[in-house]
Amino acid sequence: MFLNKEVEINHDSIIIQDSKQTLKIEAWGDNTIRVVCSPHQNFKNQEIYGIKELNKNGITSYLDFQYKDKHLKLSSGKLSVIYDGEKLSFYHKDKLVLEEFSRKQSDVRRTVGIDDDVPIRELPTSSLNVSPRKFVFNNNICESSLIFEGSLDEKIFGMGGYQEENINKNLGTYELMHRNSQTSIPFYISSKGYGFIWNNSSIGKVNFSRNQRKWKSKNSEIIDYIVTVGDSPKDIIGNYTTMTGKPPLIDQRLLGLWQSKLRYQTTEEVKAIYENYVNKGIKLSVIVIDYYHWTADGDFEFDMDYWEDIDLLAAELKKHGTQIMVSLWPTVSESSKYCNIYNKNKMIIRGKNGENKLFNNLQILDFSNPDTVKFFKKLLKNNYLNNGISLFWADQAEPEMTEYNHSKYLVYEGDFEKVGNRYPYFYVKAIQDNTSNPILIRSAWFNSQKYGALAWSGDIDSSFSSLRKQIQISISMGISGIPWWTSDIGGFHSGDSNSDLFKELLIRWFQFSVFSPILRMHGDRQPHSQKIGSKGGGIRTSGGPNEIWSFGEKVENILTNQIKLRERLHEYLLSVYEESTRYGYPIIRGLFLEFPEDNNAWEDTTNFMLGSELLVAPVVNEKIKSMKIYLPKGRDWIDVYNGDVYRGGHAYNVEISLEKIPVFCIEGSNIGKNRSQIFNIQEIRKD
């Protein structure tokens, strides 16, 4: 017995039980502790809610136990947790880093006869009667919540991708749900030296307020979280990706330009675009065929009225180093030849009231159902892989819904509200057959990186404000375990190709993307062309041209020079990808990841490191002539274009031109030794 609770001690865990809750504290490998709480006497259906493929962090799986002054102290390496009978407090090498929120009265009661039987804890007492862990049942649905103490000076990074400019998530409120242009991955690293996983796929919310940090799941009978510590942010990310997975090594042939738009409509159009790039001396890595190339939603095959001989074109392009990627949507229309099969075999997300149409009057496939995956893979093989196309774009991966109300629907695993955030994980896993091939996908979840998820930030607007948001999203997604990331250069919505402001935006976005994991042109440009048919692949209009020559000669020249720069960066980019595969590190990194001892590096919200040697300062405002750039202390920095040397630990005012963005390398670095060959703009212009 411990504070009137039943206790079961094992070599790697302790289970504490009272009449209201069962609490399990478990060593989850090196320097890592997992906490699971249930309102039941067991942890039934625990696996329903959490990460599907969760490994332990390393090989150490035992807890050190101490019992002193009515407290339990449990340790795993450098991480320890103290349990006082109510709340848990986590320490990294004896320094408090995270503490559950509890406001309870002392155990001493005024009832005659029992005072001597209940220990007095030396803790503050409160009449608020607030416990850290709470389960509320209503109509057989359980809402679970967990509260930690707030921390005003703490910095929190990660959490997936939210459309905002704040990279520090502390003091923010975040929906734990995917939307078009929003990816929720509830993991963060803290400036206090720990990482935190909210291991629950239920729809929910987290509020990082100044006085409380409250996590809530709308439909979950489990509270499950993991705390891990390390001596540096890289250590913590290494722990995290050991548990959730690291990306494979990308095919290096895919690190060049990806050409895409909404939407190429015929084989002849794709061939003409490709040939024009060849004539201009530019080698495409990928050219993309967007949605509605198919006969009907759910058919997963080309409409041969418009895509005759696409297999021959795919083979011809592949011989010259360019691959075709095709868009996939999980939507199913009533006109699909497989609609009855999908419905009869419960391969779709089903409405509890019988209404199965979630988005634009379309049904959506349920990839958590093994039968769906088996049937889907067969269609991909017969209609795409056998035609020489093995790159896939998993669009609509949240899935997007006309009304985001998961509680109305069921999936193979059960209530969609319980497990809805897993959808992109099941989607990417259903597609993946070749782990060297990335899958471009509009959302992600824990483990997605293992299956080659290349996340992009969704259908965002064309503005400098949107560009600023993508900087923080790229950093946040990398921290969240998704290092393969990209965005629509120029934004997706409302880009007017004739606007001078848009042309400047496109240039700046392209320059940022040269130093991003994937360089990818895409967007819905204005004005649209007319549709070319009345059914199948002809029923949608096409956006305006979106090739590098579509915006005038001046823009084309600048973008061409940037493409050549990207080609010269190939070896360095590949080394950063290899490091990501080996250690799980992001490709785009906040300055604090490389310079955690520099307080200013934790404050920088715009600049980033590409790998460990290049500092990139994107230009994210229009018509500026100069900008102030902070260079982290402890190193000397070289302007890669002119060789000027700057002492670290200071901010410098740097002149800005339209042709390039500021980039600095660490003096003595490998890329610094080849600086003049890689970054010589005059030499690039001769190519």
d(CA 525, CA 503): 12
Of 395, 400, 524, 613, the catalytic one is 395
Asked if 395 is an active-site residue, the reply is yes
Of 297, 299, 459, 594, the catalytic one is 459
Of 26, 221, 299, 398, the catalytic one is 398
d(CA 683, CA 99): 57
Edge-first strand listing for the sheet containing 663-666: 588-589, 608-610, 614-616, 663-666, 636-639, 645-647
Closest CA to 146 of 85, 211, 214, 220: 214
List the beta bridge partners of residue 33.
27, 227
What would the two tokens of residue 174 be?
């975040």
Closest CA to 299 of 340, 263, 252, 258: 340
d(CA 672, CA 638): 8
Tell whether omega for the bond before 527 is within 30 degrees of 0, i.e. cis. Answer: yes
User: Which amino acid appears at position 462 of this protein?
Assistant: S
Tally of CB atoms within 10 A around 221 = 23
Asked if 459 is an active-site residue, the reply is yes
Quickly tell me which residue has 């490389």 as its tokens: 594
Distances (CA, A) of 147 to 98, 209, 549: 11, 11, 54
Q: What are phi and psi of 383, to 5 degrees?
A: -105, -15
Element (H, E) at 578: helix 570-583
Closest CA to 160 of 480, 420, 397: 480
Q: What are phi and psi of 521, to 5 degrees?
A: -80, 130
Helix ranges restricted to H, 193-351 = 233-244, 267-279, 310-319, 339-344
d(CA 556, CA 131): 61
Which residues are known catalytic residues?
395, 398, 459
